[in-house]
Amino acid sequence: MTTVRPYHAARWSEPLINELTTAGERGVIPPAVEDGIPNAKGLVPEGMARKAPPLLPELSQLQVLRHWLRLSQMTLGMDTDIDIGVGTCTMKYSPKVNEELASRIADVHPDQSEETMQGLLEIAWRFANVYLREISGMDSFTFQPPGGSAGAFNNAVIMRKYHELRGELSQRDEIITTIFSHPCDAACPATAGFKLVTLYPDEETGIPSVEALKAAVSNHTAGIFVTNPEDTGIFNGHIDEWTKIVHEAGGLCAYDQANANAIMGVTRARDAGFDMCFFNLHKTFGSPHGSSGPGSAAVGVTKELDEYLPVPVIIKEGERYRLDYDRPHSIGKVRDFLGNIQVVLRSYAWAAAMGGEGLREAAEVSMINNQYLQKRLEGIRGITKPYGGRRLDQVRWSLAKLKEDTGVGVDDVNRRIVDYGVQTMFTSHHPWVVPEPFTPEPCESYSRADIDYWVAVLERVIGEAYSDPEMVKSAPHNSSIHKIDSSVLDDPEKWAMSWKAYRRKMK
């Protein structure tokens, strides 16, 4: 039996940085300007000089450091917590050695001549052409899109270009997705100019039926954007049939493999018939999530779509690595310079540490850990699992029963588990097709003891919900602050996004 240990979050009651100001204090002094360099008189054109200094705080160095360290201490990063609850995000360990390695390119300028960064280009080339090609079966990769959703947007832009060059864009203006695909698979094609058709799951299987897809495709279909395994953890086993149907209708198929953690070395995008896919390097490939970036997508395409990739593409000519901009059918730029290439370097180092066998092991252990977690959660009062069958990397569970029994829903549970030092669980993107959802993902970084501890906390909180629901609803009690007034967040008269607005509205 796992014992839940007492916990209390750091509670510094740290003031806002603007409240810590003391006129005249300095945090840092910029580089000196030597004698012999004329003063700044006349260098700012008439009327363009700043009249009043910016309202920035004035603090000495220790006082600045202390403020930010205190804020960091009131942040439950993955390094300190058992971050199983934040599913769909693959909160895996980001090895510290990779931070050291990434720091070695900190002072590289992206426009340095190619001959001064052959090593960096080789790393990115090898990662794409040795590792990712083999893992996905795709022919060419780009790291230009600077995040997962940016990868989905990139793929929508490629689809746009593809149909435009074939003269079919005015006709093919519809993208098909599924409701359990990540919202970016709907929002990014929409931003790129497409109309969206969304398929809903079959009540039994949890995935949309082949018939639903057949009914949705037409000569208006530009393509599909689908996540697989979906956010429910269910793998759509008809996926190769889907790609065939879409291809026959004249569309392209884009695979959202942002979270491919349980399928590396197991099943491949290309073998399911996809034309393009993307991985999130900050999820599957071990680069840290950075409080929400910088991350990177790795977009892979078949050789038929290679010509559309954004510029530049890193290519190898003989023993030299080059940035290729001369690509007439390219979609052009989706990000300035070379993308988030420090993220690529970290992911290369992660993949190199794993090797082929290690990647497969990471996938297997993620999947097995999820079976184990599933077994541990099944049978806990108040938790149900919509749709049948095993799940790959995660499960979308429901606390609807708990809410019905006690009035305590997933938001309340989420505010209470933090009292035990466990991160808020990811619920679900909207709409909540599964009511009162939560989506844990016990990836390969977690031990059996970690999973047991996480389950023990959840079980404890559910027990509390049955015995003392009011206490759970008024949580948190051991956190850095108490329950917030969320009505302010949607009220233009009261919301405040800056110190200036806060003083005007609330002080």
Partner 1 sequence: MKKPHPYIPNSVPEAKAAMLRDVGAESAEELYEQMIPKRLLMKRSLNLPEGIPSEHDLKAHVLDLLSRDTDCGKSLSFLGGGCWQHFIPQVCDEIVRRGEFLTAYAGGGYSDLGRFQANWEFQSLICDLVGMEVSGLPTYDWGSAAGSSVRMASRLTGRREVLVPASMSPARFGVVSNFCNPTDMPGSIKLTKVAYDKKTGMMDLGDLEKKLTEIVAAVYVENPGYLGVIEERGKEIAKLAHDTGAEFVVGVDPISLGVLAPPSDYGADIVCGELQPLGVHMNAGGGLGGFIATRDEERYVAESPLRIISITPTSEPGELGFGGAAFERTSYMAREKAKDWVGTTTVLHGITAAVYLSLMGPQGMREVGEAILRKSHYAAKRFKEVKGLDVAWEGFFKEFPLNLEATGRTVNEVNAALLRKGIFGGKDISNEFPELGQSALTCVTEVHSKADIDRLTAELREAVA
Residues 6+ apart with CB under 8 A from 417: 85, 423, 424, 425, 457, 458, 461
- Candidate segments 151-159, 209-217, 242-250, 401-409, binder of partner 1 by CB under 8 A: 151-159
Tell me if 122 contacts partner 1 by CB under 8 A. yes
Binding to partner 1, residues 207-226 (CB under 8 A): none
Using the rule CB under 8 A, is 272 a contact of partner 1? yes
Q: Is 391 in the site for partner 1 (CB under 8 A)?
A: yes
Residues 30-49 that bind partner 1 (CB under 8 A): 30-34, 36-40, 43-49
CA end-to-end span of the chain, whole Å?
50
Q: Can you tell me the distance from the alpha carbon of 185 to that of 194, in angstroms, rounded to the nearest whole number?
A: 11
Query: Which range in 84-92, 212-220, 377-385, 453-461 contacts partner 1 by CB under 8 A?
Result: 84-92
Q: Does 470 bind partner 1 (CB under 8 A)?
A: no
341-377 and 118-126 helices cross at what angle (nearest 10)?
A: 30
Q: CB of residue 321 vs partner 1: minimum separation in angstroms?
A: 10
CB closer to partner 1 out of 80 and 219: 80
- Smallest separation, CB 40 to partner 1 (Å): 5
Report the amino acid identity of residue 410: V
**Residue 402 CB, nearest approach to partner 1 (Å):** 18
Q: Which DSSP helix (H) or strand (E) runs through 297? A: strand 297-301
> By CB under 8 A, which span of 153-161, 199-207, 244-252, 398-406 interacts with partner 1?
153-161
Burial class (CB in 10 A: 0-12, 13-18, 19+), 489: exposed
The interface region with partner 1, picked from 116-124, 199-207, 249-257, 463-471 by CB under 8 A, is: 116-124
Binding of partner 1 by 316 (CB under 8 A) = no
Nearest distance from C-beta of residue 43 to partner 1, angstroms: 4
Residue 466 within binding range of partner 1, rule CB under 8 A: no
Q: Which position among 204, 447, 467, 468 is part of the footprint of partner 1 (CB under 8 A)?
A: 447
Quick one: which of 2, 4, 99, 220 contacts partner 1 (CB under 8 A)? 99
Greatest C-alpha distance within the chain: 79
What is the C-alpha separation between 438 and 262, in angstroms, rounded? 19
Helix (H) or strand (E) holding 187: helix 184-191
Q: Which of 347, 326, 299, 344 is nearest to 188 (CA)?
A: 299
Shorter beta-carbon distance to partner 1: residue 158 or 249: 158
Establish if 17 lies at the interface with partner 1 (CB under 8 A). Answer: yes
- Please report whether residue 455 would count as binding partner 1 according to CB under 8 A: no
State yes or no: residue 2 binds partner 1 (CB under 8 A): no
In the range 318-377, which residues lie near partner 1 by CB under 8 A?
331-343, 345, 348-349, 351-362, 364-365, 367-369, 371-372, 374-375
For 101, the token pair is 């390695």
Using the rule CB under 8 A, is 469 a contact of partner 1?
Answer: no
Q: Which amino acid is at 428?
A: S
**Does 200 engage in binding with partner 1 (CB under 8 A)?**
no
Residue whose pair of structure tokens reads 């990000």 in the numeric block = 335
Q: What contacts 24+ positions apart, CB below 8 Å, involve 371-380? A: 372/442, 372/448, 372/451, 373/84, 373/440, 373/442, 373/451, 373/454, 373/455, 376/451, 376/452, 376/455, 377/440, 377/455, 377/458, 380/455, 380/458, 380/459, 380/462
Site for partner 1 in 169-188 (CB under 8 A): 169-170, 173, 183-184, 186-188
Q: Does the protein bind partner 1 through residue 202 (CB under 8 A)?
A: no
If one asks whether residue 261 binds partner 1 (CB under 8 A), the answer comes out as no
Q: How far is the CB of 129 from partner 1 (least distance, A)?
A: 12
431 near 179, Cβ under 8 Å?
Answer: yes
Among 84, 128, 153, 314, interactor with partner 1 by CB under 8 A: 153
Indicate the residue among 50 and 303 with the shorter CB distance to partner 1. Answer: 50
Task: Tell me if 28 contacts partner 1 by CB under 8 A.
Answer: yes
Number of residues that bind partner 1 (CB under 8 A): 218
Helix-helix angle 96-103:341-377, to 10 degrees: 170
- Say if CB 395 and CB 439 are below 8 A apart: yes
For partner 1, the binding residue among 5, 130, 324, 378 (CB under 8 A) is 130
- Which residue, 225 or 404, is less far from partner 1 as judged by CB? 225
Token look-up 């070395």 returns 265
Beta bridge partners of 195: 174
Q: Are 33 and 100 in contact (CB under 8 A)?
A: no
Smallest separation (angstroms) from partner 1 to the CB of 466 = 22
What is the Cα–Cα distance from 391 to 373, expressed in whole angstroms?
Answer: 11
- CB of 400 or CB of 417, closer to partner 1: 417
Least gap, CB of 60 to partner 1 (angstroms) = 10
